[in-house]
Amino acid sequence: MTTKYETVIGLEVHVQLNTDSKIFCGCSTEFGKEPNENTCPVCLGLPGTLPVLNKKVVDYAIMAGLALNCDIAEYSKFDRKNYFYPDLPKAYQISQFDLPVAENGEIEIETEAGLFKIGVTRVHLEEDAGKLIHEGSIDKSKGSLVDYNRTGVPLIEIVSEPDMRTPAQAKAYLTELKMIMEYLDISDCNMEEGSLRCDANVSLRPVGQEEFGIKAELKNMNSFSAVEKGLEYEVKRQQKLLDEGKKVVQETRTWDESLNKTISMRGKEEAHDYRYFPEPDLVPLEIDAAWKEEMRKEIPELPREKYKRFISELGLPEYDAGVLTGDKDLAVFFEEVLSDYDDPKNLSNWMMGEFLRLLNENGQAPFESGVSPINLAKMLKMIDQDIISGKIAKKVFEKMYNSGSDPETIVEEEGLKQISDEDELENMVDGIIADNPDAVEDVQNGKDRAIGFLVGQVMKETRGKANPGLVNQMLRDKLMD
């Protein structure tokens, strides 16, 4: 009889905060500069230099803690985490050990299997290290180059409780976390650029057992899909070991994207004693109720709240609500249009359809195109009022997207107004009927499809401007019964 195992997953997520300057000095945090351009004596750890805490970094950390439903510490402090590595200029990282900024939070996630609450153990502040660029291959390399632009960039480390039970839940948690950070606008949250990083702890235990199994730590998963694939692989690997009666080794494993497996880093890493002690160059951090409240006010409606509200108040389907709230700017754009337009579902269709299509094609974000919320609202009203047809509207929209013009001007300039005048239409229709006797006969013989053909001919004749609904009705009236 094979034992049934339960998967236990915890995630440690590092989020780079997008403050203008670093956590302990005034250097820029801007990504993509020349190596060692964003450095100064402090973040290079030159002898004699001292850290000075950037207040905005703490503001952002408080916001993150509150958004994750944590308790914010009234008294918190920094500690030194000591180890030697070329990308760590002081040979210690200023971090937080036992008194972090925030603790005891939780967030709600949704997967196909349902809703789950995932605990957040803690959120703490720390400084990032530099980047090593290795020349050549590991066995033939002459050396490595170090870029210290990243040292001192502020990070928050968010540690979850080991509450996730499937890789899908882990992915949902990570996705939700990313969205929350984006809504707060405190990070670029870009896994490819390294402003969002994820390590995982994975273990298996027999179903019903309270004690956790031996865990492996997974690193080097550099995309959402890598996280999911890495976890899936690891769960299978551990399952296989246990089924064969073997033990899982407590170790760090790296995800290899090219081989699609996790590989042991055992032997390459020594057990670290970080010799944590309180950072003597910084004073303790005291966060009073007033500061907390000030930051609470900065928190906008968060993704899950907005998602639920779009469904309950606006009557949108779950799918639509999911897509629209999945991107903060898209949600904000949507709501701005709605301040001037009252059909959420129709707007949703347009945004998920034409708008997203063009944004993806052009690699733009919602507020970067020529379409403004006001103009989209105007355009939709024009469709509702039958001034233009839905099909013509697509042309208008694309023009708006590229030119930034408003819909009235475009329709006027291009002469795209829908023809709804009955007399004018009747002339067209009579003309088409006269020119297409075969199709007319088909209609009268009951071939409904031929109506479509005739409507098409009218549309062709009017270059799409005839009101197709009216044309259709007119043809039916004239040709049927």
Partner 1 sequence: MNIYDLTIHELKEKIAAGELTPAEIKKAYSDRINEVEDRVKSYITIIDELAGDELADYENKKEGLLAGIPIAVKDNMSTDGIKTSCASKMLENYKPPYNATVVEKLNEAGAVIMGKTNMDEFAMGSSTENSAFFVTHNPWNLNHAPGGSSGGSAAAVAAGECAAALGSDTGGSIRQPASYCGVVGLKPTYGMVSRYGLVAFASSLDQIGPITKDVEDSAILMNVIAGHDPQDSTSIAGKKEDYTKYLKEDVSGMKIGIPEEYFNLEFDEEVKASVLAAVEKLKEAGAEVETVHMTDASYALAAYYVIAPAEASSNLARYDGVRYGLRSEQAADVSEMFTNTRHEGFGDEVKRRIMIGTYALSSGYYDAYYLKAQKVRTLIKDDFDRIFNDFDLILTPTAPSTAIELESKSDPLEMYHTDIFTVPVNIAGVPAMSVPCGFDSNEMPIGLQLIGPHFGEGKIIQAAYTLEKLLNINEKRAEL
Which residues lie near partner 1 (CB under 8 A)? Answer: 41, 44-53, 80, 82, 84, 86, 89-92, 146, 273, 275-277, 280-283
Pick 208 or 267: Cβ nearer partner 1: 267
Q: What is the C-alpha to C-alpha distance for residues 372 and 369, in angstroms, rounded to an integer?
A: 8
3-state DSSP: the chain helix, strand, coil percent, rounded to 5? 40, 20, 40
Pick 134 or 357: Cβ nearer partner 1: 134
HSE of 125, CA atoms in CB hemisphere, 13 A: 31
CB 66 within 8 A of CB 296: yes
Pick 54 or 238: Cβ nearer partner 1: 54
CB 151 within 8 A of CB 44: yes
Q: What is the C-alpha to C-alpha distance for residues 109 and 245, in angstroms, rounded to an integer?
A: 34
CB 332 within 8 A of CB 182: no
**Eight-state DSSP code of residue 353:** I
Pick 58 or 439: Cβ nearer partner 1: 58
In the complex, what is the shortest distance from the CB of residue 167 to partner 1, in angstroms, rounded to a whole number? 33
Pick 26 or 404: Cβ nearer partner 1: 26
CA torsion sign for 328, 330, 334, 339 is positive
**Residue 66 CB: number of other CB atoms within 10 A?**
22
HSE of 178, CA atoms in CB hemisphere, 13 A: 21
Pick 92 or 307: Cβ nearer partner 1: 92
In the complex, what is the shortest distance from the CB of residue 337 to partner 1, in angstroms, rounded to a whole number? 47
**Total number of residues shown for the chain:** 481
CB 337 within 8 A of CB 347: yes
- Which segments of 200-300 does DSSP mark as H helices, in order? 224-243, 289-296
In the complex, what is the shortest distance from the CB of residue 7 to partner 1, in angstroms, rounded to a whole number? 30
271: left (phi over 0), alpha (psi -120 to 50) or beta: beta
Task: Measure the CA dihedral 8/14/15/19, to 10°.
Answer: 160
In the complex, what is the shortest distance from the CB of residue 275 to partner 1, in angstroms, rounded to a whole number? 4
In the complex, what is the shortest distance from the CB of residue 20 to partner 1, in angstroms, rounded to a whole number? 18
In the complex, what is the shortest distance from the CB of residue 218 to partner 1, in angstroms, rounded to a whole number? 24
- Token reading at 261: 């497996």
In the complex, what is the shortest distance from the CB of residue 88 to partner 1, in angstroms, rounded to a whole number? 9
In the complex, what is the shortest distance from the CB of residue 144 to partner 1, in angstroms, rounded to a whole number? 8
Long-range CB contact pairs, 367-370, < 8 A, 24+:
367/329, 367/333, 369/401, 370/400, 370/401, 370/402, 370/403, 370/404, 370/405
For residue 225, give every residue at least 6 positions away whose Cβ sits within 8 Å of its Cβ, in sequence order, or none.
Answer: none
- DSSP bridge pairs for 440: none
Pick 52 or 113: Cβ nearer partner 1: 52
Pick 53 or 374: Cβ nearer partner 1: 53
Q: Phi and psi dihedrals of 330, rounded to 5?
A: -65, -45
Q: Sheet harboring 79-82: ordered strands across?
A: 92-95, 79-82, 277-278
In the complex, what is the shortest distance from the CB of residue 277 to partner 1, in angstroms, rounded to a whole number? 6
Pick 75 or 84: Cβ nearer partner 1: 84
Pick 147 or 234: Cβ nearer partner 1: 147
In the complex, what is the shortest distance from the CB of residue 145 to partner 1, in angstroms, rounded to a whole number? 11
Pick 268 or 449: Cβ nearer partner 1: 268
Beta strands 251-256; 215-221: pairing state: parallel
Q: What is the C-alpha to C-alpha distance for residues 353 and 374, in angstroms, rounded to an integer?
A: 18
In the complex, what is the shortest distance from the CB of residue 127 to partner 1, in angstroms, rounded to a whole number? 14
Pick 224 or 276: Cβ nearer partner 1: 276
CB 419 within 8 A of CB 463: no
In the complex, what is the shortest distance from the CB of residue 333 to partner 1, in angstroms, rounded to a whole number? 42
